Amino acid sequence: MNGPGKNLKVSVIKATFTINQAVVRLSATRPLNVERAVVAADIPPHDHDYYEVSLMVHGRCRHHTADGVRELEPGAVIVVAPGGVHAFSRPRGVEFINLYYLAEWLAAGWREYWTEQGLVPLFLAQVLFRRETQPRPAVFRLESAAAAAAAAELAGIQRELAGERPSALFIKAGVLKLLVMLSRASHDHRAELAAPVWAVVHGIEASIEGGQPFDQAAQLRGWGVSADRASRLFRQATGLSPLEYYQRRRIHHACVRLLDRAHTITQVALELGFADAAHFSRLFRKYAGLTPRAYRAKYA
């Protein structure tokens, strides 16, 4: 967890380095990672390409975000969304357990998670909806029994990941159990979706999973307002138009299928309703920032 640089400047929270794939080492067979990290020196402001969930198990330190400085002690939990910036200073015997995960993998079937208040806003919304330029890290504290339970769950996931052939079902069940525990303990439940917006999100997800074409008029019909008004309300809630959200989620579904090498890129494109592999590749690059082939190679 130690990063470059010795001097911590906290007057402005601007990232000086990024926790990226070279650090977190995610893959198709291990789409999440758990590691213990000892903090022996100040860590300058940095951001993340992936969600990071940190549980402090030992020591004390200061945690810096754009919202100010907070003293952390054992039981503290930090949730940093992609793009979030934070820093640490004055560590004294500090040890964290860090969880990183590939959000598009975790988001498969995410509608089931919505009933757990706070889970989606805390642990997936930055990837599902419009990305904030610098999302604020969430910080809260677990009571000792809950902290011990969370640490035990993380240890179980870590042991499974260390095996030769980790079970995707085991690690996904473990991480979802952990995130439910944490979302229940957090009072930072961020913005939930209003019922009409949720209905459209639900409908879009169902159309993708069912291989049906996107029908925006049908998706917005139940709002009781004009289609333009409904579309504006959807954008206000998610930062995306219904069509943009549909395309983003199609790419997320494509990401999950690309992790399985049993599917060719052309098969993934056709299964998700793209006209051909070239059309799929163009849209994938637009939303994911790289080609399908490069994505697959990144998590080989």
Q: What's the chain's Rg over C-alpha atoms?
A: 20
SS (H, E, C) the chain: CCCCCCCCCCCCCCCCEEECHHHHCCCCCCCEEEEEEEECCCEEEEEECCEEEEEEEEEEEEEEECCEEEEECCCEEEEECCCCCEEEEEEEEEEEEEEEECHHHHCCCHHHHHHCCCHHHHHCHHHHCCCCCCCCCEEEECCHHHHHHHHHHHHHHHHHHCCCCCCHHHHHHHHHHHHHHHHHHCCCCCCCCCHHHHHHHHHHHHHHHCCCCCCHHHHHHHHCCCHHHHHHHHHHHHCCCHHHHHHHHHHHHHHHHHCCCCCCHHHHHHHCCCCCHHHHHHHHHHHHCCCHHHHHHHCC
Question: Tokens in use for 286?
Answer: 């637009």
pLDDT of 4 = 37
pLDDT of 134 = 84
CATH number of 17-185: 2.60.120.280
Closest to 201 (Cα-Cα) out of 239, 255, 161: 239
Q: How many angstroms separate the CA atoms of 84 and 132, rounded?
A: 9
Phi, psi of 149 (to 5 degrees): -65, -40
Question: Tokens in use for 81?
Answer: 């969304």
Q: Taking the model in full, what pTM does it have?
A: 0.91
Question: Tokens in use for 128?
Answer: 């599902």
255-287 pLDDT, tens digit each? 999 999 999 999 999 999 998 899 999 999 999
pLDDT under 50: residue ranges of the chain:
1-7, 9-11
Residue type at 250 in one-letter notation:
R
pLDDT of 10 = 44
Placement of tokens 């067979």 in the chain: 29
Q: How many angstroms separate the CA atoms of 150 and 55, rounded?
A: 8
Q: Which residues of 284-293 are buried (b: 16+ CB within 10 A; e: fewer)?
A: beeebeeebe
CB 105 within 8 A of CB 50: no
pLDDT of 12 = 63
Q: Where are the domains of the chain?
A: 17-185, 195-298
Closest to 26 (Cα-Cα) out of 181, 182, 171: 171
Residue 200: Cβ within 10 Å count: 25
Domain 195-298 has CATH 1.10.10.60: yes
